[in-house]
Structure 1
Amino acid sequence: MNEPKIGKLAVLIATMEEEELAVFKPKLETVQYCKGKAGSMNMQKVISSVETAAKRNGIIAEHVYRETHALYHAILEALQGVTRGQIAIGDMMRTVGLRFAVVRGKPYEREGEGEWIAVAFYGTIGAPVKGLEHETLGLGINHI
């Protein structure tokens, strides 16, 4: 089996329903992953939702700084995509409703390349008025 494409898997997990993911189960067994939802006008709440899910599901070790740091940078990179380069929501009078996935794996054949972490967001962003949002997607990948 080819090395896992952790970014691609993160996007699939964030965008697909469980039954749609069934086809990808063999690939998913080669990585650690979790998924969740976050909706807010507060960016810190979105970041905290992802961090909490990753820690509770054992994707990162809570007391290992480099793992938390790697996750944080992957989250920020993914949020760049969601917010079109301006990492702000409430301050700009917009809100998000997102599903997210965190995937940890070894995307390179050489063992020395180590583990990497990917974060994908999929959902909506827009004015805080129901029906005025549009789809959005973001992906961030960082080495651990």
Structure 2
Amino acid sequence: MVLAIDRRIGKYAILLAMNGDQEEFPVVTPSQWKSCMGKVGSMDSQKVVAAIETAAKREGIIKSDGYRETHALYHAIMDALSGVTRGQVQLGSVMRTVGLRFSVVRGNPYEELEEGDWIAVALYGTIGAPVRGSEHETIGLGINHI
């Protein structure tokens, strides 16, 4: 199993999340991959999960029926949220709020086709007390096999 240098799925996910919809630094993923982007702000981690899952299903990144793909996406989201929240996936209950841009990327990052698809979720934005000006930058990445 060899990770192809030009197909690092996490790198593409992070670049998409950080770049957002700006044309300043266009990010082009490999043609056979699927991706989507969006924004979410909340004091509730469940709303963050729901926004990302809804976008991924709406854009055809994962199938809306069935468990396996939703489960893989969920674990990638939770890993990314863990990075954003420094291991404590809590927001409102500890008086924190987030304003995030997210990306979801699906594809095979390996040279061998039999390795199958993987999914990456990247989150980039701010976290802090629910008082404007009290936030700081944050980033998180989660990658899971499908």
The corresponding residue for 1:104 is 106
Answer yes or no: is 1:19 the counterpart of 2:23. Answer: yes
* Count of residue correspondences: 142
The corresponding residue for 1:4 is 7
RMSD: 1.4
Structure 1 contact 3–109 (Cα < 8 Å) conserved = no
Task: Give the CA deviation at 1:31.
Answer: 1.4
SS in 1 for 2:23: helix
Q: TM-score, normalised by structure 2?
A: 0.92
Answer yes or no: is 1:73 the counterpart of 2:99. Answer: no
**When you count helix as a share of all residues, which structure comes out higher?**
1
Structure 1 contact 6–105 (Cα < 8 Å) conserved = yes
Task: Give the CA deviation at 1:29.
Answer: 2.8
Q: Deviations over 1:59-82 (max 9, x none)?
A: 000102100000000000000100
CA distance in 1, matches of 2:114, 2:6: 14
CA distance in 2, matches of 1:76, 1:63: 20
Answer yes or no: is 1:32 the counterpart of 2:34. Answer: yes
Structure 1 contact 3–108 (Cα < 8 Å) conserved = no
Structure 2 residue corresponding to 1:85, chosen from 84, 87, 99: 87
Q: TM-score, normalised by structure 1?
A: 0.94
Letter aligned with residue 11 of structure 1: I
Task: Give the CA deviation at 1:129.
Answer: 0.2
Within-5 A mapping of 1:32-71: 32-71=34-73
Q: Which runs of 5+ in 1 are unaligned?
A: none
SS in 2 for 1:45: helix
Q: Which runs of 5+ in 2 are unaligned?
A: none
Indicate how the Cα distance of structure 1 residues 12 and 19 shifts in structure 2: closer, same or farther if over 3 A, else same. same
Structure 1 contact 98–124 (Cα < 8 Å) conserved = yes
The corresponding residue for 2:125 is 123
